[in-house]
Structure 1
Amino acid sequence: MAQLYYRYSTMNAGKSIELIKVAYNYEERGKRVLTLVPSVDDRYGAGVITSRIGIQREAIMVADDTNILELFLSENTKQKVDCVLVDECQFLKKHHVQELVEIVDSCDVPVLAYGLKNDFRNELFEGSYYMLVYADKIEEIKTICWCGRKATMVARIVDGKFVKQGEQVVVGGNDMYVSLCRKHYNDGRLEP
């Protein structure tokens, strides 16, 4: 029986490389994977999932108005889809998550979605909220703060300074965000 998996973490925990590894494992066994990425995440190019260590994989872009269920059904008629993988799922809308649920429940195809849980203000993203509501399995991928504790927060850096206000979605990498433990997020300490 297929399930909806939500695998979350802070920045730099290896979510994208985990997704690429899962895709490889499916394809190595002759299975077809449908890989999706929200169109807002174009840091490494449109329709590309990229790990910070340099491994890439092409993906179909999902816009705010994309119907993922229709996309899946269209791809499934061309060739059977055995698994759906979604990177940066925090950027999904409520209807996207509900469409992923429909793929799992009606088509019996597993969906594994990877993304952040909370933003730099420590608030849930829309996609994260609905993944927490609908996912059958919720798994944390862990990484560490500079102090060695488990990182659970994401800090935004603007002009070298820690900020806790601004637009929720500003796509960036190590130049803009750092993963911190709760203590150092609350203290605003980015390094020793």
Structure 2
Amino acid sequence: MAQLFFKYGAMNSGKSIEILKVAHNYEEQGKSVILMTSIMDTRSGKGRIVSRMGLTRDAIALTKDSNVLEIVKAKNPSAACVLIDECEFMTKDQVLEATQVVDDLGIPVMAFGLKNDFRNELFEGTKYLLLYADKLEEMKTICWFCKKKATMNMRMSNGKPVYEGKQVSIGGNEMYYPVCRRHYNHPPMLDEE
């Protein structure tokens, strides 16, 4: 039975490498997958899923106007699985379209992304995936400053934490640290590491 999965975690929790692993496992068995990602992440070009370990794949670049259901119908309505990276950038409509892929086409959808932004607020896609997903799975990583589980994302600018600003600013380790709640609220001085 097809289901909608939401696999979330802080920065550096291995979401992109996991999506690439899942795609490989399906394809190794001769099963087709449809890979999607947000057009907003342009660090390695549009429509690319890139892991910090260096693995990369082409994917369909979703814009705010993209219709997930129509893309699947046009690309391969008998795909074995739909895999969506950077799903926090999905709209409410796109999350609902993903539920239609599951319910109407019988294709499982696995969405991978952040739960919360650097201000500790939910993204639109995250909010609706938390509401509509059949299965939720936390992908874990450790705090940049200690051994605790990281549950938050700290945005950095000039070596200092940033707690205000626009929700989306694309970056990697140079801009975001996965942190525990304690270090989100009381970050150590970076020169004291």
Q: How many residues align?
A: 190
- 2:141 is aligned to 143
Q: Distance in 2 between matches of 1:172 and 1:133?
A: 27
**CA deviation digits over 1:37-73, x for unaligned, max 9?**
0101111111110000100011000000011111110
**CA deviation digits over 1:101-133, x for unaligned, max 9?**
000001110000000000000000000000000
Q: Which runs of 4+ in 1 moved over 3 A?
A: none
2:60 is the counterpart of 1:60: yes
8 Å CA contact retained: 1:3, 1:109:
yes
Q: Distance in 2 between matches of 1:43 and 1:91?
A: 15
CA shift for structure 1 position 153: 0.6
Q: Distance in 2 between matches of 1:54 and 1:76?
A: 28
Structure-1-length-normalised TM-score? 0.97
Q: Distance in 2 between matches of 1:39 and 1:46?
A: 6
Q: What SS does the aligned partner of 1:104 have? A: helix
Residue identity matched to 1:139: E
- 1:9 is aligned to 9
Q: What SS does the aligned partner of 1:36 have? A: strand
CA shift for structure 1 position 190: 6.1
- 2:160 is aligned to 161
Residue identity matched to 1:104: V
Alignment of 1:1-192 (within 5 A): 1-76=1-76, 80-145=78-143, 146-189=145-188, 191=190, 192=193
CA shift for structure 1 position 160: 1.2
Sequence identity of aligned pairs in percent? Answer: 53
CA shift for structure 1 position 188: 2.6
8 Å CA contact retained: 1:156, 1:163:
yes
8 Å CA contact retained: 1:184, 1:190:
no
Q: Distance in 1 between matches of 2:65 and 2:22?
A: 27
Q: Distance in 1 between matches of 2:169 and 2:189?
A: 19
User: For structure 1, which runs of at least 5 residues remain unmatched after alignment?
Assistant: none
RMSD (Å), alpha carbons: 1.0
CA shift for structure 1 position 189: 2.7
Structure-2-length-normalised TM-score? 0.96
